[in-house]
Amino acid sequence: TPCGRPAGLGSKSSKKKMEPTPGVPAPIFTGAVPPPPQGGLSGVPPPPVVEKKSDRKRTDLEKMAFRELRDIALKAGLKLPLGSSKDAYIDALSGEKKANVVRERPWRWNKQLGRDPRTKKYYRLLKIARVPEAHVYERMVNAGCPRSAIGMLFGEGPPPQHAGSSLASMPTQTPDMVRSKTDEFQPGKHSAHPIDTKNLNATSWRSVAVAKKSESGSSGVIFCLLPKGVVVLKSGSSLAEEMYGSWLAREIGIHVPELRLASYNDGEYYEIQAALKRTASLSTKIGISRILQRKQIAVMEYVNGKPLVEVSGIPEKSALRQVGGIIALDVVLNNFDRLPLVWNNQGNADNIFLVPEENNMYALDNRIVCPTSIQVQHVHLSKVNMLCDNMKKSGHESKEWIKLQRFWVTRTPMAMLSKEDLKEIAKGFRDTAKMCVEKLTKKRLVSMFKDLGALDKGDNFWMSQVCGINVEFILAVINVFAKHFC
């Protein structure tokens, strides 16, 4: 070029800055210029070939900033992959490799692997589900993935190894023992692990044998097998409302599972996470990845019984009275996900369990739903008032009990309820309504509300759930009970 700079180097802006000034001699490039390549333009010298190894020693390169190393590499014609570390640039410039340096696998920094269809599935196992590298590597090999796809995730270095093993080559077949244990695990064949609501007992989580995610339900429920029995783990965005509803149920004598909270401030929380990551299968880890990201996990008692959808015969009278008590509880909680008396839905028979050995009905998923709209609150209160008024006038022949009869026939395998059966359910409803008036006073409701907030004061997400509970709305429903039954 006129200014003596080799062609092909520099940007357009730099060309303008390097134009020769009249009267000033142009700088002379002293680098070695090789002969022009075959087929090249005559008279136009090609760009200089710079040695790809820097003259500087490795110790000098290590003292330089990363940006300086990158600029030197660019001028030297080195093209390193996007996201290469500082050590990679030093290795390329000095021609030496630092001893005992473990390079980062490409999946740790290359986000493009999460979009590539060849690596997307396994990238999520590594990045989201936190599955160990060795397991993913073996799974890719056993699935017949091409070596190019495996290299995109793990690089050109040695394959990842299990702890305490020396994996020298690609395995031909590796059975997933954790998966087989998970498939064989059936919670109903084991007893329930006792839940101590006061003692965290974090060391017991180190003895978890297998963990399995529930196949039913919208919320995340995990069954864990311990030496003493099965325990249930649950998380979700309405955990505080469900704990408060369970406390109310226990106050009025409804059978509910024992439960306690494991927060991220407790040591038990991290023991639970470690146990799940260690014992869950690959498919389970993907399913519970969102649960592991929650800051609160409920440790719940396992109810070894049958849901109403699996009960064939009509329960005994004492169990039917407990069904009436659960209906009264749902009215107080505004829980529409169970028995459809004052709600226009089909109901959910999976949330009532019968334990034949005890002849007791257990209420599951006792979330309290407090409407924020005053108008919606008045609608619910008017329905509750109509339910109680019709019960006093028509007894078990009111339209609400006809709806219960339809639910019993269509949503469960049991036969139609007789008049005597409906009378027992209605009796249980009235007795529980009176218990609500007696036990659930304003002082008691406020006390439980404060205790719920104290479980995890420092977390805003938990407090937002607690603040969704309206004690005044609960008292308004209980006042309707007091008006008709007391």
More confident site: 483 or 140: 483
| Residue 15 pLDDT class (50, 70, 90 cuts) | very low
Q: What's the confidence (pLDDT) of residue 218?
A: 53
More confident site: 92 or 243: 243
Q: What is the DSSP string of 260-307?
A: EEEETTSHHHHHHHHHHHHHS-HHHHHHTHHHHT-SEEEEEE---SEE
Q: Among 73-77, 83-87, 351-355, where is mean pLDDT lowest?
A: 83-87
Tell me which residue of 329, 337, 370, 380 sits closest to 466, measured CA to CA: 370
AA letter at 275: A
Tell me which residue of 44, 25, 24 sits closest to 33, measured CA to CA: 44
**What's the whole-number average pLDDT of the chain?**
76
More confident site: 83 or 110: 110
Q: What are the start and end residues of each CATH 1.10.1070.11 domain in the chain?
A: 306-485
More confident site: 84 or 423: 423
Q: Among 71-85, 188-202, 253-267, 419-433, where is mean pLDDT lowest?
A: 188-202
Which pLDDT tens digit goes with each residue over 322-337?
Answer: 999 999 999 999 999 8
Q: What's the confidence (pLDDT) of residue 55?
A: 59
Tell whether the model's pLDDT for residue 353 goes beyond 90. yes
In the three-class reduction of DSSP (H, G, I as helix; E, B as strand; rest coil), residue 85 is classed as coil
Q: What are the start and end residues of each CATH 3.30.1010.10 domain in the chain?
A: 189-301
- CATH class of domain segment(s) 189-301: alpha beta
Kindly report the pTM of this predicted structure. Answer: 0.62
* CATH code, 306-485: 1.10.1070.11
Q: What's the confidence (pLDDT) of residue 115?
A: 87
Tell me which residue of 315, 313, 318, 316 sits closest to 427, measured CA to CA: 318
| Residue 283 pLDDT class (50, 70, 90 cuts) | low
Q: What's the confidence (pLDDT) of residue 366?
A: 93
Calculate the alpha carbon distances from 312 to 318, 404, 409, 411, 413 in Å: 17, 17, 11, 12, 5
Question: Which residue carries 């799974």 as its tokens?
Answer: 139
Half-sphere exposure of 24 (CA within 13 A, CB side): 8
Q: What's the confidence (pLDDT) of residue 285?
A: 67
Residues 357 and 196: their CA atoms lie apart, in Å, by 22
In the three-class reduction of DSSP (H, G, I as helix; E, B as strand; rest coil), residue 234 is classed as strand
In the three-class reduction of DSSP (H, G, I as helix; E, B as strand; rest coil), residue 360 is classed as strand
Report yes or no: 425 and 318 within 8 Å, Cβ to Cβ. Answer: no
Which pLDDT tens digit goes with each residue over 358-391?
Answer: 899 999 999 999 999 999 999 999 999 999 998 8
